[in-house]
Amino acid sequence: MYVSRFGALSLVALLAACGSKQSPAPAASEPKASAAAKTAVDAARLTAADSEPGTWMTYGRTYDEQRFSPLKQINAQNVGQLQLAWHYDLAAAHRVQESTPIVVDGVMYVTSAWSKVFALDAATGKQLWVFDPEVPGAAGIKGCCDVPNRGVAVWNGKVYVGAFDGRLIAIDASSGKQAWSVSTVDDADNYSITGAPRIVRGKVIIGNAGGEYKARGYVTAYDAESGKKVWRFYTVPGEPGKKDGAASDDVLESKARSTWTGEFWKLGGGGTTWDGMAYDPKLDLLYFGTDNGEPWNHAVRSPGGGDNLFTASIIAVRPDTGEYVWHFQNTPGESWDYSAVQQMILADLTIDGKLRQVIMQAPKNGFFYVLDRATGEFISAQPITAVNWATGLDPQTGRPIENPRSRYGETGKPWSAMPGPAGAHAWQAMSYDPLTHLVYLPVIDGGFVFVGEKNFKAKTLGWNTGVDFNAGSLPEDPKVIAQIQTTLKGHLSAWDPVAQKQVWSVPYDTSWNGGVVSTAGNLIFQGTSMGEFAAFQADDGKRLWSAQTHTGILAPPITYEANGEQYVVVEVGWGGAFGLAAGQLARDAQANQGNIPRVLAFKLNGTDTMPAPPPPSDLKLAPPPDEASAKVVAAGKSHYHTFCSTCHGDSAVSGGVLPDLRYSAAMSAPNTWQSIVHDGVRSANGMVSFGSQMSKEEIETIRTYVIHRATQTKSQAN
């Protein structure tokens, strides 16, 4: 979410956005009712999810991840009568909310930031229990893109959550008490878990995030009853000569290792697996996507070139063993944070007169892909927004035809990329409607200027991308910012995956919007960063209904049935990579400066009342004298954009999630500033010590830069 001084829009919606050991059991709140379900979900029930249209038993509702509901009590004719039925305020910090609720047997299981789990009565929103895994605040530094959690999985009386600090936890569905917990990561590394687990054939499948840090991607399967590790699949090779004893050993040696050069393993290589998965019970194939390479800059990561398998790829394996079956790499030699962890949808489509079993994905690189899901064969792909890093794809193989100027690491020249690291489509869910035969997805229209980092040196804190974010930071002139805002857009797209073309679209003035759900009532539901939750007619995109929630929406809605009534529910809460890092662009792209995380449930003729928005902030700019030399301020700006901007906002403007340092009292107290940044006195709140990365003198230059920016802002407002 940056705009470079080269004049091109740069959207750093840096989505990159884990060995088992037992861990102590955090306490759950006492149940307020005994109605929490036994959650008797098994393989047969999940496979036949369509026979229970009123439930939402897994992340994508069904194993094929279509996010389509057969319910039609709420439809295009009566959706205007939709009203709030109940709301639940999440007991969570005012951070991003990205959860897909699970609803089964009358109970909703939903998560919040910091991996808290809430069990609610699906008809009333009444709290049944709350489970807090007590993730340490200091773990927040291990996440690129806020501290989100996208949801839980349910199986045989248990609820499973991946905690941000890398634990996989099983919770008793009736009591909310921990059943077991295992650490899926090495705590010494900067891994995190943000995605929802999936359960296939009695195994909990979980990946992790960390592609901006020292990370080597992998997916692990655990026994759902005991928590014992069953198999692990690494997505990129490790140190030469060392085997992992993993399901991926043979294929990494035979297919992947020769596609890497240099000492890539010292920084992990990337390829983390933090979101999209799908499962085909008939083919018995588990699919998962992989993230960008680490570092992003291909010239730094693999200086001799190479495709760097299996980064930016879709991989199919056998769920019982992790045995490799096939892969398809969307972006060979990835260098632009073009991950392929985005949602994958399984469907049967008639293409050229033949029924094809396909897997569909809109990864970050800007193309919409249709592949044969049995073999990985490329069928077709077309761009969903402006794309300039490639001029097209090989029609036989799907390999991109690259623009050679896009290789900024090799050319040594800035590259104005379309799309940017946010991608044309990020993690926000899309949906396939088998009635209209369209895919509905939130699209980001924007770019980024990549500048290779000179004299790259790995950091133990902060990002290791090989990209110079200071060179691509936002301008400080509000008039230029205003011009940039007119070019940073997004849209809801109805995409025909057979014809590979857009059928209709709904344009937005902001880019960072919510996921979608489609229903048999000829409806599409989506929320926006400006707090509007809206319904559209699925066949033509006509806006039929909306409600203002007063808080930015990123999470995808779902729909379910309780006591014979259909509900549509969405979790609201602003943040994520864009909300943290995009500075003034993010600040202006949200509903208001408050951020009230809630679960909102709507039904026909509901009788609840939407809570009033919070009052506007009354913070006053009161910086100390701006007396540092231009050289010191420039040094501070560089250090700030290296270590601080991804959380506190580009050019020292908060995106509305974490504190805006221009208003910090610590600006006027150098010793306090040092105690926070150098000594880490607020580590419990997530502000860890950077003393190992910067000297006190360097940290002081950051203070002078923030003073300078606060003074500028105050002057511009007068």
Same domain, 297 and 369: yes
441 versus 613: the higher-pLDDT residue is: 441
Identify the pLDDT of residue 654: 82
| In-domain check, residue 663 | yes
Residue 144: band (very low, low, confident or very high) from pLDDT cuts 50, 70, 90? confident
The answer, yes or no, to whether residue 234 has pLDDT greater than 90, is yes
| In-domain check, residue 461 | no
Same domain, 594 and 636: no
The pLDDT > 70 percentage for the chain reads 93
For residue range 382-438, list pLDDT tens digits in order: 999 999 999 999 999 999 999 999 999 999 999 999 999 999 999 999 999 999 999
Distance from C-alpha of 437 to C-alpha of 52, rounded to nearest angstrom: 22
The answer, yes or no, to whether residue 191 has pLDDT greater than 80, is yes
Distance from C-alpha of 578 to C-alpha of 98, rounded to nearest angstrom: 13
| In-domain check, residue 222 | yes
Identify the pLDDT of residue 483: 74
| In-domain check, residue 268 | yes
Residue 19: band (very low, low, confident or very high) from pLDDT cuts 50, 70, 90? very low
Whole domain around residue 659: which residue ranges?
630-717
Same domain, 586 and 634: no
The answer, yes or no, to whether residue 35 has pLDDT greater than 60, is no
658 versus 202: the higher-pLDDT residue is: 202
The answer, yes or no, to whether residue 25 has pLDDT greater than 70, is no
Distance from C-alpha of 333 to C-alpha of 298, rounded to nearest angstrom: 6
| In-domain check, residue 472 | no
Identify the pLDDT of residue 10: 35
**506-520, 556-570, 613-627, 632-646: range with lowest mean pLDDT:** 613-627
| In-domain check, residue 528 | yes
Q: How far is CA 705 from CA 93, 141, 667, 682, 700, in A?
A: 28, 22, 10, 21, 9
The answer, yes or no, to whether residue 1 has pLDDT greater than 50, is no
**9-18, 289-298, 314-323: range with lowest mean pLDDT:** 9-18
**206-210, 332-336, 458-462, 597-601: range with lowest mean pLDDT:** 458-462
Identify the pLDDT of residue 187: 80
Domain CATH code at residue 62: 2.140.10.10
Q: Rank 466-470, 480-484, 601-605 by mean pLDDT and report only the highest.
A: 601-605
The answer, yes or no, to whether residue 318 has pLDDT greater than 90, is yes
Same domain, 651 and 562: no
| In-domain check, residue 617 | no
| In-domain check, residue 623 | no
Check 132, 165, 280, 337 and give the catalytic one.
337
Phi, psi of 344, deg, nearest 5: -115, 135
Same domain, 168 and 276: yes
DSSP string covering 517-549: EEETTTEEEEE-TTSEEEEEETTT--EEEEEE-
Same domain, 596 and 640: no
Contact (CB, 8 A) for 103 and 56:
yes
Which of 237-264 are b and which e, b meaning 16 or more Cβ less than 10 Å from the residue's Cβ?
bbeeeeebebbbbebbeeebbebbeeeb
Distance from C-alpha of 155 to C-alpha of 47, rounded to nearest angstrom: 13
The answer, yes or no, to whether residue 539 has pLDDT greater than 50, is yes
Contact (CB, 8 A) for 563 and 572:
no
Same domain, 588 and 661: no
Distance from C-alpha of 571 to C-alpha of 553, rounded to nearest angstrom: 7
pTM value?
A: 0.93
Same domain, 600 and 665: no
Same domain, 668 and 544: no
Same domain, 590 and 679: no
Same domain, 591 and 662: no
Domain CATH code at residue 672: 1.10.760.10
Encoding tokens for residue 442? 């939130």
Any catalytic annotation for residue 337?
Answer: yes
Identify the pLDDT of residue 700: 94
Interval 204-230 mean pLDDT: 96
Distance from C-alpha of 296 to C-alpha of 190, rounded to nearest angstrom: 16
Domain count, the chain: 2
The answer, yes or no, to whether residue 706 has pLDDT greater than 80, is yes
Same domain, 566 and 499: yes
- Neighbour count for residue 682 (Cβ, 10 Å): 15
Q: Which residues pair with 603 in a beta bridge?
A: 83
